[in-house]
Structure 1
Amino acid sequence: MGGRPQPAGPPLRDLYETSALRERAVSESPDGPGHGPGSTVPTVTERSATGRRSRTEPGVGRPASEVRDLQAAFNAAQLAMAVVDREGKVISANQALGALLGAEPARLTDEPAADLVGLGQDSRTWAAYCEVLRGRSERLRCTQRLKSPDGHSVWADVTVAPLADSRSVLMSVADISDRRDLQARLRHLQMHDPVTRLPNRALFFERLAAALDTSVHPRGSTGRIGLCYLDLDGFKAVNDTLGHRVGDQLLSAVAQRLAHCADQAGYGRRGGHLVARLGGDEFALLVEDSTGTEQLSALAGSVLATLQRPFELAGQRLSISASIGVVERVAAGTTATALMQAADTTLYWAKADGKARWTLFDPERNAHRMTRQALASTLRPAVEHGEFTLEYQPLVGLGDGSVRGVEALVRWRHPQFGTLAPNRFIGLAEEDGSIVELGRWVLETACRQARRWQLEHPDAPVFVSVNVAVRQVWDSDLVADVAGILESTGLPPELLQLELTESAVMGSAGRPLQALQALSDMGVSIAIDDFGTGYSNLAYLSRLPVSTLKLDGSFVQGFRDEEHPNPADETIVEALVQLAHRLGLTVTAECVESAEQADRLRRIGCDTGQGWFYSRPVPADRVSALLGPHPAP
């Protein structure tokens, strides 16, 4: 360990006297003390300007017995210690330090203390150590990794602090290896899942945060990150039917296959991967330093393939699959929250697309989803703010070309996205329940406008047809709403038609059937919209108070080509028209776009037509001009 051999360490009093008699001028290198432990550390002059020793010098005035006691306690202490002068050289070391370092204490004298415990290996630690030696700092405490005499590593808690009434400092070295081992074991338990032994959610996000910290990326790194986020399809059924013990065994087997899959792909050799269980049946494969979407796609494909092989557990042969969301992007500017949101969204897409597949994150699809969320969050306030308006599309008699009625179609004049058609927001309104408030507004606005037309054209009144969602029947008193609106607007009930989809009225019973019957008894017409696209169970037509069938536009498409008509479409439409007429119902054909279609529908027997051939949806002020007779096709 360097230093010259000595028979025994000097007593503390002699050490103090020797230290006090050394005069060292303050001499600092122009580059400062940051060059390592071998450089000269400036010391404080130990004599006053008069040349006399300071009265606070240790040992002066102390009884010899006290000094001997201090020396004995120093040598017998279980804590490894050394007295160090202001140049950083060991003045005296005790037996515990010698045993820790595998050297006789006397051999440590005059050795640079920093070298013994590695204080010069880190520039910040070295600078803090020098500050203590200069008397500018009260204490240095750090954890160092040392080599024990038998070659094993030893973790030590090193403290350096000035001695009271002395020009020296005391360095103590405590072996904390057992404590570090315990902390490591506790951390492993804290950061790993007990069922699969994979890293858990906490460790996953710790590694993810480190991977996204671009300031520590090594040279040559791609600067990209990839994530496969998956959950098992049908795992709940395994738990429910075979029990949680088998479910845990399945999770453990899945974890082994995922880890093997990642290793086979080569990530294990580079250490740039992490397979983690995030909770339940959710797993994540984090790929640091990704090379692109092809790499992640290949990994996702191999994961699907390995999980689709049957599992043999507890005498059972289990087959499962997984849905995987794949995200790959540049690490710079990406946050853990944004990455996980993208992964969660993509996993949802994979399940919505049919499960047992992987899906790559699509920015355009995500933008549509974000727009949908933005619309959903502003839908309710939009009704209060008056952002909705109505347009009307005529329903024309195919026999005489006159306007019999109009369908009210709601539009949303969104301040950010412009004018939106019903298909952009009606589904959202049905999901969050705002369809009740919106539907009530549409109904009242359309009835008030129809009453104006009735007063303007008393000889040829037109009815208004309003779409009603099934949730309006369930979540509100539709009968009371209609009755109140008709009374407040003065519109006769026979000039109001309510349209419900075929699937909404299919199998109607209880409250919905009672509501429809009450509305019909009131004089309001009930129409089945998009007829022929739902269940097409004709038996319910005789049980419901329906007055009109609106044939879906898909049937009319086959009437476009006069030279090559589709005979099947014409046969189906003709049969539906005849059936409806025998039941006392009228028939409206939707999506009429040409004179040829209108003519053929008229010959078949359709009562009214609706479509661009007659008019696109128009504002209320343009409907009056259309209320005169329309030329027959």
Structure 2
Amino acid sequence: MLQGSYNSLLVLFSLLVAVLAAYTSLEMAGRITTATGRAARWWLTGGAFAMGLGIWSMHFIGMLAFSLPIRLGYDPVVTLLSLSIAVASSAFALWLVCQDALPTGRLAGGAVLMGLGVAGMHYTGMAAMQMKPGIDYDAGLFALSIVIAVAASGVALKTAFSLRHNSRRVRPLRAGAAVVMGLAIVGMHYTGMSAAAFPVGSLCVAATDGVNTTWVAVVIIIVTLAVTGVVLSISVLDELRLETENAALTRSLAQANQELGYLAWHDALTKLPNRVLLEGRLEEALANARVDGSQFALMFMDLDGFKVVNDAYGHQVGDRLLVQVAERLASAVRARDTVARVGGDEFVLLVPGEDQAGAIAVASRLLAVIGAPFEIDGHELGISTSIGIAMCPADGARGHEALMHADAAMYHAKSLGRNAYSFFDVSMNENMQGQLQLTQDLRVAVERKQLVLHYQPQFAAPDGPITGVEALVRWAHPKRGLIGPDEFIPLAEKTGLIVPIGEWVLDEACRQIREWLDSGACDWNVAVNLSPVQFGHPQLTSLVRETLERHRVDPRRLTIEVTESAAMRDVDASLRILHSLHEMGVRISIDDFGTGYSSLMYLKRLPASELKIDRGFVRELAHDAEDAAIVSSVVALGHTLGIEIVAEGVETATQKEFLTRLGCNALQGFLLGRPVPAADLDALSKECTQPSLS
């Protein structure tokens, strides 16, 4: 037999190329896993070529490192075939390790196929020498080389699958694994070479005169390093780009979460503390008073003449007026005092450590501050305020009682001619009789059929068609006329009447859906609001199911709207209820999104079909960068989670254009359509397009 020898330097280079090929395979597995769509296919194609070229180069350099006492050469066609086998095997390996799972059976099958591919590449490359007579292979070493190839392929596949997710921690592990995989590949190659024996008198038909194998090896090494270097560089740059984008998104979501947390305790328009924060501080002040015997003043303020301004100049001017009022109030009190906005034009001031004389001084200062003219959009506006004062704990040992008594004193101040303050007196409780009578009237409103539903349409951004309607309850009081929900729903929630009222609203909405379907009118989806009290009712799911069945309404026609704060009050219980409704087929809408403090990690667990951006964010979109940033973040988050975004309170063309540009799916507000009785929707029904229920 002819005795062969090896060029030690080329053998070393073959090992280095094998390690580089192994590292490239691990890096490409990570890149393909994180890519999607066309990008994933490009990474698979490029990665397969770079990895296959690296494995083949190791093999071919190892071949060039081998020499015999005769001239050697390699047939180009067969050599290219061996390269093709390497690329195909690499493509199969990368595809396999990027699947969602790699069970033992699939791993074993993949190892066999890839091992045979690597062995096939090697022995095809050997055949490119076209020896005469043919190469005599030792059966034992030949079999051992295939076993090594299969085992090395199994280790490589398992390692690549385990390290496919990109992170800073896996990079050193990939480097170490690449060394082990490279040694295994080299071991297979040189075991296969050891199996080859060349009889004395053998002739290499593919030998070419004047070809320097060392220079051929150098060229192959350079090309291989260039290709793998380019692929790895692109991979690193792409990963840096993704990390930068993810970091920016993380900062954006963190900022949005921080803003939402702030707004959970503050009014979205004026940035003053809201009712929730006020009630907490009020209970704290009462607790301190019980301990040290101190007292404090609680002032309930209502703006006189605000409704006239709002009606005459519009909501935008009204909102700006409220902001300026808030700024004046905040500047007129001490840092330890609390000024809160608790309603449309209602404010409450908590003044610790003040007696009646101190309260008079504060109230007089507030009357003067609010009484000064306001300048808004070129209009000089004049308003005043009425202030009710409760001295606590004498006028209220509990928070709710103290607020109610300050409110009663405020109404007494209004009855005195407004622009005045009044201290609470027990006789003022008589004025609360009106509220008590209203409660009594509300108890019989359902059975006397005094409640009615109006429907406000929602439009696909920017100009339609109508995608659905929201059912809004009104009270047709026999003496007071049509009463809006803002006036009687809080009363209903306090007395528990919200439960039968809510049942009636759900029943009437479903009845109306059936009537529209039977008459051939538009088959709109109808949204029904649930109050926090209703949402926590144990029979809610069965009530919804029975109501839908009674009116023969497809659950997909109904949307249940739940406020964000109600959904987040008890997350686990809310998830159970919402999932039950969702499994029934009912759509879920998270209403007033952004006004509560829902951790973003819970949002993806809610089976929500849509998020409704609160009107408080919509008002100042064009003028408040913070509101615009929050809306933009919510839209991006919703789209990422596959949730539709509905913006309510759209009152200007600027708001409509801004929200459309941000990516809101649907719009709702006075600009597009006011709440109207069902009969008045006939004109709209002639123009609507029936929505898909998919």
TM-score (norm 2): 0.40
The structure with the larger Rg is: 1
Which of the pair is proportionally richer in strand?
A: 1
User: Greater relative contact order: 1 or 2 (C-alpha under 8 angstroms, separation 6 or more)?
Assistant: 2
TM-score (norm 1): 0.43
